[in-house]
Amino acid sequence: MPLPRLIPCLDVAGGRVVKGVRFEALRDVGDPIELGAAYSAAGADELVFLDIKATLDARSTLLALVSGVAERVAIPFTVGGGVRSAADGYALLRAGADRVSVNSAALERPGLIGELASQLGSQAVVVAIDATRGRVRARAGTAPTRRDAVAWAREAEARGAGEILLTSIDADGTRDGYDIDLTRAVADAVSIPVIASGGAGTARHVADVLDVAQAALLASIVHENPGRLTSLRAELRQIGVPLRDAA
């Protein structure tokens, strides 16, 4: 297996990195290209950019942002938000993204996963799943569905997904640790890699989830201070997590 990965996640809206509580009171925290470069320099293995507004007229802003990041940053990055067709996904890859992530659009129309996989290749297709108590939610966690998270992950794999980005809504933002049970259940059910998301507070939390998942998404733990990523990597290596030497 490849080495475990640490993946900072940046929420973007209108071409800027923003931060907010449940998408309200969004605060501008910086330029995506500068922040992406800072995380890359601090040792990120990969980056995720999520366009949390993803309105139709914002597509060109997003594409410009993606090409700016691709020119500046020499690590892989995934872009999500507003991908509704294979053409949307292709445009992001042509702009310089390595992979695209789909969530609500795939829940509404699961055939989208297969269309993306056949045009972009499975390795470029990430299916993001937001779950609470084992059930999937759509629309950034606001809309309950009847889908079971494990069953949906399996279906996504069968349809051609190359990776699952699994967020526990229950753990998200708590800094009390990842939802290990949910992550293990999904990782055991599929044979594609799984990125765990939600709940990172300490190096131990990250180490624990990397026992069951192939990558850990980092949000609030590094947002106040990208330099925290460097110390987190050092702590993790010290407790035996085989992260790459990012020098």
Partner 1 sequence: MCDYGAGNVRSVTASLVRLGAETSTTSDPDTIVEADLAILPGVGSARSAMARLRERGLDEALRQRVERGKATLGICLGLQLALEESEEDGGVAGLGILPGRALRLRAGRVPRIGWALVEPGGEAFYFAHSYAAETPAASARSEGVVVAAEAGSFLGVQFHPERSGAAGGRFLARCLSRA
Number of residues that bind partner 1 (CB under 8 A): 40
Q: Which stretch binds partner 1 (CB under 8 A): 70-78, 141-149, 165-173, 226-234?
A: 70-78
Q: Which 3 state secondary structure label does DSSP give 196?
A: strand
Nearest to 209 by CA among 190, 181, 231: 181
**Calpha distance 223→10 (Å, rounded):** 8
Q: Does 88 bind partner 1 (CB under 8 A)?
A: no
Q: How far is the CB of 55 from partner 1 (least distance, A)?
A: 24
Tokens standing for residue 54: 């993803």
**Structure-token match 């993790």, residue found:** 236
Q: Does 240 bind partner 1 (CB under 8 A)?
A: no
Q: Does 245 bind partner 1 (CB under 8 A)?
A: yes
> To which H or E segment does residue 197 belong?
strand 194-197
Among 81, 96, 177, 198, binds partner 1 (CB under 8 A): 96
Please, are residues 138 and 129 in contact by the beta-carbon 8 Å criterion? no
Please, are residues 197 and 166 in contact by the beta-carbon 8 Å criterion? yes
Q: Which stretch binds partner 1 (CB under 8 A): 14-22, 69-77, 135-143, 167-175?
A: 69-77
User: Which one of 45, 51, 88, 130 is the catalytic residue?
Assistant: 130
> To which H or E segment does residue 2 belong?
none
Among 81, 214, 223, 229, binds partner 1 (CB under 8 A): 214
Has 11 been annotated as catalytic? yes
| Cα distance from N-terminal residue to C-terminal residue, the chain | 21
Between 29 and 246, name the residue whose CB sits nearer to partner 1. 246
Among 12, 13, 75, 185, binds partner 1 (CB under 8 A): 75
Among 37, 38, 40, 233, binds partner 1 (CB under 8 A): 40
Stretch 158-197: interaction string toward partner 1, x if CB under 8 A: ----xx---------------------------xxx----
Q: Which 3 state secondary structure label does DSSP give 27?
A: strand
Q: How far is the CB of 187 from partner 1 (least distance, A)?
A: 9
Distance of CA 205 to the CA centre of its chain: 17
> To which H or E segment does residue 180 belong?
helix 180-189
Has 45 been annotated as catalytic? no
Task: Write the burial class of residue 52 (CB in 10 Å: 0-12 exposed, 13-18 middle, 19+ buried).
Answer: middle
Between 122 and 145, name the residue whose CB sits nearer to partner 1. 122
Which residues are near partner 1 by CB under 8 A?
1-5, 40, 45-46, 67, 70-72, 74-76, 90, 93-96, 98-99, 118-124, 162-163, 191-193, 214-215, 244-247
